[in-house]
Amino acid sequence: MYKQAMPDTLATTDALPASAFMNDTAMRLGIQVLSGTPLTRDQARELTQLQGNDLYDLFFWANKIRTHFVGANAKFCSIVTGKVGGCSEDCSYCSQSKHYETHVKPSRMRVDEMQSAAEEALASGASSFGIVNSGRGPTDKELDWMEPFFREAAEGGKIRPCATLGELKPDQAKRLADMGVQRINHNLETSRRHFGNVVSTHSYDDRVNTIRIAKEAGLSICSGGIFGLGEDWEDRLDMAFELKELGADVVPINFLNAIQGTPLHGKRDNLEPMQALKIVAIYRFILPDRELKIAGGRETILRDMQSWMFFAGGSSFLIGNYLTTFGRTPKQDHQMLADLGMKIHLFDEREVEATPQAAPGAGAGALGIGAEANSLMVRQRGSVMALPIIDG
């Protein structure tokens, strides 16, 4: 298998093992995962020790695991802010917290604006579309407000309705499922041991409890975290194995880009691109059959290496805008996929070609409606990268 890819000068060296050309740890554990045997915690820890050129071998095997278990093509989702700002929680990475002075101003979407944004997301090729609300959890009145949108989106059957609403009670989770929501996003954010260094107004167990409540209501689970919060590799492994145990279907991988006004601004160095990709790859080894969604911070942290997120094991990404800021345009991301020869995996399981010439030039929610065109994005124009996360 390896000889075919080797230069002619090496092809005749039958006595040389494959490990002479590839890092043995990455190869051994990659083959183990491909054969169906999960990594142990100690084996995952071995992968964290890889550095330098050995990272390319780690990515090679992560890509093999991705294509074997998940497929060779990409999915993506789109989100808009249903309610933004004024959040009661003190998450130190979040520009929507009322505890901090940032550029974010409280506002709320109308149902027709949500519907317009969903159509724009569909035009971009998104398989899922999420409404994201700030706050610790939804009120009954907020569920009343969003219900018409979710029911219509579910009845349309063209895109997966998702919600990021914070903590849920059992009756709220059931109601969301009944109104057509199919997936709930609620991130763990980091490990149990590091969580108290990041948030004080609610606990790690509060987040775990919401995930379990949503799962019991029959909702698909989207849960991941933010990297670059000051955590170490043990924290990263803790979260990966916790997500595996909780049965997360989709795992968003976000990279911190600390925003002015939040406590972490100026206190954390940005991850280097290769280290960010290393995180993606090791999560692919630990979670071989899950959808790894590369989300917040990918432009800022991965920079010119954004397309490498697939080689490192990522299988989906957030397309268009984030919660309070612009992201790359769908046109740019379609061009990236076309250049890679990758197709788009849609909600109805069809796979279609990327269409950079036809893809929208702005993310969902940018067009607005009628006389209020662009109104949804006015508060974002000229802003810094305010909220590089998917979370409630």
> What would the pLDDT profile of 183-209 be if each residue is shown by its tens digit?
999 999 999 999 999 999 999 999 999
3-state DSSP helix/strand/coil % of the chain, to nearest 5: 40, 15, 45
Query: What's the whole-number average pLDDT of the chain?
Result: 88
User: Tokens representing 147?
Assistant: 């219900």
| Cα–Cα distance, 367 to 144 (Å, whole number) | 25
Model pLDDT, residue 94: 84
Reported confidence tier of residue 306, pLDDT bands at 50, 70, 90:
very high
Model pLDDT, residue 322: 61
Give the three-class secondary structure for 19: helix
Reported confidence tier of residue 106, pLDDT bands at 50, 70, 90:
confident
Total Cβ atoms within 10 A of residue 364: 28
* pTM over 0.85, yes/no: yes
| Cα–Cα distance, 247 to 232 (Å, whole number) | 23
Amino acid identity, position 207? R
Q: Write the CB contacts of 198 (distance below 8 Å, at least 6 apart in sequence).
A: 91, 92, 93, 189, 190, 229
Reported confidence tier of residue 48, pLDDT bands at 50, 70, 90:
very high
Work out the average pLDDT over 141-163: 97
**DSSP alpha helices (H): ranges in the chain?**
8-11, 24-34, 41-48, 54-69, 111-124, 140-156, 170-178, 192-195, 204-216, 233-246, 273-286, 308-311, 330-340
Model pLDDT, residue 227: 98
> What would the pLDDT profile of 243-269 be if each residue is shown by its tens digit?
999 999 999 999 998 778 888 887 888
Model pLDDT, residue 4: 38
| Cα–Cα distance, 270 to 257 (Å, whole number) | 7
Model pLDDT, residue 356: 94
Q: Write the CB contacts of 9 (distance below 8 Å, at least 6 apart in sequence).
A: none
DSSP for residue 87: B
User: Tokens representing 347?
Assistant: 């909600």
pLDDT above 90: percentage of residues in the chain: 71
Cβ atoms of 93 and 262 closer than 8 Å: yes
Work out the average pLDDT over 65-89: 93
> What would the pLDDT profile of 343-385 be if each residue is shown by its tens digit?
999 999 999 999 999 988 877 776 554 433 433 333 343 333 3
Reference 175, options 200, 209, 201, 141; nearest CA is 141
Ranges 11-25, 181-195, 221-235: which has the least confidence: 11-25
Domains of the chain in start order, with CATH, are 20-69 (no CATH), 75-380 (3.20.20.70)
